[in-house]
């Protein structure tokens, strides 16, 4: 919630701090259900028409998949369904969102990726513990994952980004961890990357995922409790299996018990998983029966889509693999052609204008010196660079930079002073002639920003009665692009208009508008 302080400029500051203390020892946690289905139902309540659309798509997918499986089984004869021969490698990015994101190490992320790949390929060592009577349905998925090597804008990355937040723990009810405006971080292009958010979750949740046809493209991916990563502190849930489970949802798998509260009428839409009354807690050996499967080999508590302890989760079935593969090719096929895992090839000469650091949106003097960050994206050491500033398509003001920037190094540069008149202006800054040569990549040379300058006044009177908002000489500074100042009519001390912020609808901390 934003608190309002009134002055010539309006400042909103939330003074409530929510911290997170790192735990030093293993914790025995009461396992709560994965929040995937809860989140989905919340979305349906927010948008009643979504449920009908989602159900139609699900039914269509299930019918099409059933026909494919029947055809494959008919053609395969006694051999049954086998794993596809083609391997699909998908770029994955881990967004670590915590008050202290260094609590999660690179080694943990690499270990988590290794667990995920082995679980999906069926090469996990613990598969040796699967009882022989379930061997015929043991599935090996063609889906594999690689750490992203480039960002959506072509920057070099290791596929791990750390974001410091004051908003924690996060809840699945608003997907806050997935949006910068609510203390999280926006996803990387969901058509090119599998986004995984690592954070602290409320109510002892271990994680949640998104189904591919849920109608929220900017929230696609998986969210995982950071203490469930390999070598995390959640006892029995710290071998990285949570991500394998949530990734199953991402590829259209449902809970193995059908989420029917023990009625035995629910379904996971997969024919080779035994009917199961409810989720499993703990870890078992041998045959385990329940009210839905009371004979034979019992229920498949070893499945990744159950809630067993991590040490007991060891397989996807063959038909679960078929379902995931078809979901990938039906809904997320663009992931298979993404260049996210392709390393960035550096040019010999490539200067980048990385950011415009100053001026900001509003300035108080008509003369100022822009401040920018430049980066050497080339292989050759950068020694000279021409940087030009243009105000409203006017005459460029040049600055000659000299220095010594090694490959991928950055420098903050204060440019030559420029002068503007009162009003709104657009500033364009671009770099050229690195080392007096030709820049081999022009896509990262130019940035623009808008600024406003008005001369100082002795007093301010504004009733917001005009047709234009903000009025001349006013602007709205809204860094997080979320709820901010707006004009309303019919509520005012005098006249007919006023400006408000809907403070009680806002949950982020420490933001200023």
* Residues tagged active-site: 246
Q: How many angstroms separate the CA atoms of 235 and 81, rounded?
A: 36
In degrees and rounded to multiples of 5, residue 430 shows phi and psi of -145, 155
Tokens of 46: 């927010």
Q: How many angstroms separate the CA atoms of 209 and 75, rounded?
A: 34
* HEC secondary structure over 78-125: HHCCCCCCCCEEEEEEEEEEECCHHHCCHHHHHHHHHHHHHHHHCCCH
Q: How many angstroms separate the CA atoms of 261 and 263, rounded?
A: 6
Q: How many angstroms separate the CA atoms of 419 and 263, rounded?
A: 74
> Cis bond leading into 470, ω under 30°?
yes
Tokens of 240: 């990285």
Q: How many angstroms separate the CA atoms of 318 and 142, rounded?
A: 11
In degrees and rounded to multiples of 5, residue 394 shows phi and psi of -85, -160
* HEC secondary structure over 11-79: EECCCCCCCCCCCCCCECCCCCCCCHHHHHHHHHHHCHHHHHHHHHHHHHHHHHHHHHHHHHHHHHHHH
Tokens of 210: 């998104």
In degrees and rounded to multiples of 5, residue 135 shows phi and psi of -55, -40
Tokens of 404: 């010594």
Strands (DSSP E) along 160-287, which ranges?
160-164, 194-199, 207-209, 222-225
């Amino acid at each position: 919630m934003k608190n309002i302080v009134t002055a010539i400029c309006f400042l909103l500051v939330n003074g409530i701090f929510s911290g997170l203390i790192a735990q030093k020892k293993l914790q025995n946690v009461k396992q709560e259900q994965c929040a995937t289905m809860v989140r989905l139902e919340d979305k349906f309540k927010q948008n009643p028409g979504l449920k009908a659309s989602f159900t139609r798509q699900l039914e269509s997918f299930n019918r099409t998949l059933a026909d494919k499986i029947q055809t494959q089984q008919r053609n395969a004869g006694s051999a049954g369904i086998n794993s596809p021969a083609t391997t699909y490698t998908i770029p994955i990015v881990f967004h670590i969102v915590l008050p202290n994101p260094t609590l999660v190490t690179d080694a943990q992320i690499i270990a988590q990726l290794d667990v995920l790949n082995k679980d999906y390929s069926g090469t996990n060592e613990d598969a040796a513990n699967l009882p022989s009577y379930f061997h015929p349905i043991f599935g090996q998925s063609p889906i594999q994952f690689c750490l992203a090597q480039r960002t959506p804008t072509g920057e070099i990355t290791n596929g791990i980004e750390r974001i410091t937040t004051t908003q924690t723990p996060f809840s699945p009810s608003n997907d806050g961890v997935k949006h910068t405006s609510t203390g999280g971080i926006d996803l990387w292009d969901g058509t090119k990357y599998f986004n995984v958010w690592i954070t602290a979750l409320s109510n002892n949740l271990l994680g949640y995922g998104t189904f591919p046809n849920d109608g929220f493209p900017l929230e696609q991916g998986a969210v995982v409790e950071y203490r469930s990563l390999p070598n995390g502190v959640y006892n029995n849930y710290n071998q990285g299996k949570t991500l394998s489970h949530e990734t199953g949802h991402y590829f259209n798998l449902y809970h193995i018990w059908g989420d029917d509260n023990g009625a035995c009428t629910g379904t996971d839409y997969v024919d080779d998983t035994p009917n199961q009354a409810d989720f499993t807690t703990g870890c078992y050996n041998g045959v385990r029966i329940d009210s839905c499967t009371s004979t034979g080999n019992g229920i498949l508590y070893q499945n990744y889509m159950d809630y067993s302890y991590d040490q007991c989760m060891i397989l996807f079935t063959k038909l679960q693999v078929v379902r995931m593969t078809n979901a990938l090719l039906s809904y997320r096929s663009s992931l298979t052609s993404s260049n996210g895992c392709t390393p960035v090839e550096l040019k010999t000469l490539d200067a980048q204008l990385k950011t415009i650091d100053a001026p900001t949106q509003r300035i108080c003097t008509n003369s100022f010196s822009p401040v920018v960050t430049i980066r050497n994206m080339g292989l050759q050491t950068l020694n000279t660079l021409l940087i030009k500033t243009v105000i409203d398509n006017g005459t460029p003001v040049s600055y000659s930079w000299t220095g010594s920037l090694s490959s991928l190094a950055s420098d903050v540069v204060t440019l030559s002073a420029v002068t503007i008149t009162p009003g709104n202006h657009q500033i364009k800054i671009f770099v050229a002639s690195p080392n007096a040569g030709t820049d081999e990549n022009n896509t990262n040379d130019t940035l623009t920003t808008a600024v406003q300058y008005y001369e100082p006044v002795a007093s301010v009177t504004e009733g917001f009665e005009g047709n234009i908002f903000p009025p001349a000489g006013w602007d709205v500074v809204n860094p997080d692009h979320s709820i901010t100042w707006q004009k309303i009519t019919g509520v005012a001390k005098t006249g007919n208009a006023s400006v408000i912020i809907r403070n009680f609808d806002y949950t982020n901390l420490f933001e200023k508008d």
